[in-house]
Structure 1
Amino acid sequence: MNLTELTERLHAIRDRNDWRQFHSPKNLAMAASVEMAELVEIFQWLSEEQSRQLPAEQLEHAGQEVGDIVLYLLLMCAELGIDMEQAVRAKLADSERRFSS
């Protein structure tokens, strides 16, 4: 996944539609949260086993929501000047230090 290319494509959509005015970090965080809630809704009331074996339609829907979340996070990183790949690698390294025996 080329995050730079994805961000450039997102910015092209944003700019064509004059959405930059709405893409403050606060708004992007709220939008990502709404999309996360939509992902959670797919799993509401399912058993653990059912949540691991989604029917094709629900699995596709879950993938769409994951995509929405990631795209909003990419936009937020661009607005804040956060290098997403570096942030994820740093967090993973921290988790490895904290939780590896």
Structure 2
Amino acid sequence: MAWLVLFVAGLFEVGWAVCLKSAQGFTRPWPTIGFGVFMFASVYLLGLSLRSLPLGTAYTVWTGIGAVGAVAFGIVVWGEPADVRRLVCIGLIITGITGLKLVTPH
């Protein structure tokens, strides 16, 4: 269950990153509010997952999900570059996340 909570926390991290860009320096109210809500939810769920997962593993997986999700969102929605080098780097992050999941005994 902790892994599911951590995964959802990572998705909320993607949400706050998207809202942060959309808030345009906190000048737009709705994305700014979304940023706060998503950030609170993300950190709260990360904290819940830390009840049974090691800190280093949980934090790394959480930031990895957020990073991969933010890059994927940028590519799909905002037309950011999707060249081979970027995709290889994303693949390396996913490999690291998967590796940590496989070697963590929970």
TM-score of the alignment, normalized to the shorter chain, above 0.5: no
Please, what TM-score do these two structures have when normalized by structure 2?
A: 0.42
Which of these two proteins has the greater Rg computed from alpha carbons? Answer: 1
